[in-house]
Amino acid sequence: MRSVDQLESEVRSYCRAFPVVFSRAQGACLFDDAGRRFIDFLSGAGTLNYGHNNPRLVRGVIEYLQRDGIVHGLDLATTAKRRFMERFRDVILEPRGFSYTLQFTGPTGANGVEAALKLARKATRRRNVIAFSGGYHGLSAGALAVTANTFYRDEAYVNRTDVSFLPYDGYPGVDSLAYLREVLRDPGSGVDLPAAVILESVQGEGGVNVASTDWLRGVEAACREHGVLLIADEIQSGNGRTGTFFSFERAGLRPDLVILSKSLSGIGLPMTLLLLKPELDVWEPGEHSGTFRGNNLAFVAAADALAYWEDDTLATDVRRKGDRAGAALDRIAAACPGSAVRGVGLFRALDLHDPALAVDVRAEAFARGLIVEICGARATTIKLLPPLVIDDDVLDEGLALLAESVSAAQKKTVTHTIASM
């Protein structure tokens, strides 16, 4: 690690918490350069829903390269692009009754957010956007403006106007849906009628906060009543993470714009897709551009990954495994006073309500061969994002390691407390 520490910027983060050099990966496991195995409950922050180096996806990419398939083509039409678009229409959109135009933005999820915000403002000719407490949408200028956590917001020293933050579902002491409705109705609220409302139906970095279906439907109804566009950020929560391809499906939403990224390509190749209702496609050619908006290797893998969604097998399995993980977390929480369990599908979290304890749990887990990360506005929550295709025995092994880690961290906390008395 010494060369990494010496050569890489101080901005590096994950490698600080997991200080080894990784050399290979397969399925739900990473291996360091000494051959040690780690169960991966981070999955590239939700980028590897189908596991590391999924054979059925890697095979297609290798074959494509071997026949000299186009790798970079700006937004030129290619066979790989056409195949993905047709597969996405046939497997995802038409069975759900969705009619969306597809826009390939720059490769990051944040660029997809930028495109959605720009398009919403252009289409409505309104400037303001409503975002929510706990939301995380990326760190480029526009995406950062709708990101709530001050840890990310304080570093840029720029003016972030034209965004109004309202409380997310479950915010303490507030009926957030009633508040949203009143803000939109009241000409004296001080909140300009927005171009759009942007939300995550499950907030990932915010602490795995799961909005209720009633709240989500109420937000959509309020948007419709006032001619406000609804933007669904599915960057981490989409691509099957919650047990349906889109996390908002459980509420029956039909957003105006949908942002997909992270696990869309299936094997970690950068790719972002903005879905927009056809009547909102008011772009001028090249108005939102980018050199890497046509990642053909990602198109190949993403088209193959859609095979998982041709029937309900994976979705059903994700819900089953999610229940299994949730039950294990409930048992852990029962032995950890003050903790709380949240989540849906294989998007799960254990909130320890103590940032120091969370750091200790992460360290204890890593020492035992389990990779988990911390999230939440106060960095108190252990987030679990295992691959959706993880085997039951590996899932159970990881959950058992987490239980051991929480127990060990609690004992360490008690020892420190006694020593300081």
For the chain, what are the domain ranges?
57-309, 311-354+361-381+392-421
Structure-block tokens of residue 400 = 């058992």
Which among 280, 107, 78 is positioned nearest to 196, based on CA atoms? Answer: 280
Q: What is the pLDDT of residue 414?
A: 64
CA distances from 135 to 130, 138, 372, 377 (A): 11, 10, 21, 9
Architecture of domain 57-309: 3-Layer(aba) Sandwich (3.40)
For 375, phi then psi, to 5°, come to -145, -175
Distance CA 305, CA 88 (A): 10
Regarding beta strands 163-166 and 129-132, do their DSSP bridges make them parallel or antiparallel, or are they unpaired? parallel
* Alpha-carbon distance values, 69 to 80, 114, 310 (Å): 8, 30, 26
DSSP percent split of the chain into helix, strand, coil, nearest 5: 45, 15, 40
pLDDT reported for residue 294: 83
Rounded CA separation 48/29 (Å): 11
pLDDT digits (tens, 9 = 90+) for 401-419: 999 999 999 988 766 555 5
Whole-angstrom distance, CA of residue 232 vs CA of residue 36: 39
Lookup: tokens for 117: 């915000």
Per DSSP (E only), the strands in 326-414 are 340-344, 347-351, 370-371, 373-375, 381-384
Cβ atoms of residues 196 and 131 within 8 Å: no
Q: Which residues pair with 26 in a beta bridge?
A: 29
Q: Are 202 and 348 in contact (CB under 8 A)?
A: no
d(CA 206, CA 134): 5
- Confidence (pTM): 0.95
List Cβ<8 Å contacts ≥24 apart for 123-126. Answer: 123/195, 123/229, 123/280, 123/282, 124/195, 124/196, 124/227, 124/228, 124/229, 125/195, 126/192, 126/193, 126/194, 126/195
Contact by Cβ (8 Å): 63, 406: no
| β-sheet with 37-40: strand ranges across | 22-26, 29-32, 37-40, 370-371
Contact 412, 420 (CB under 8 A): no
CB atoms within 10 A of CB 151: 11
- pLDDT tens, per residue, the chain with 421 residues: 677 788 889 889 989 999 999 999 999 999 999 999 999 999 999 999 999 999 999 999 999 999 999 999 999 999 999 999 999 999 999 999 999 999 999 999 999 999 999 999 999 999 999 999 999 999 888 898 999 988 887 765 666 779 999 999 999 999 999 999 999 999 999 999 999 999 999 999 999 999 999 999 999 999 999 999 999 999 999 999 999 999 999 999 999 999 999 999 999 999 999 999 999 999 999 999 999 998 999 999 999 999 999 999 999 999 999 999 999 999 999 999 999 999 999 999 999 999 999 999 999 999 999 999 999 999 999 999 999 999 999 999 999 999 999 999 998 876 655 555 4
Return the SS3 of 126: coil
Token pair 């407390």: residue: 417
The verdict on domain 311-354+361-381+392-421 having CATH code 3.90.1150.10 is yes
**In the prediction, which pLDDT does 151 show?**
81
Residue with tokens 């309500």: 353
pLDDT digit string, tens, across residues 262-299: 999 999 999 999 999 999 999 999 999 999 998 999 99
Written as six digits, the tokens of 120 are 């919403």
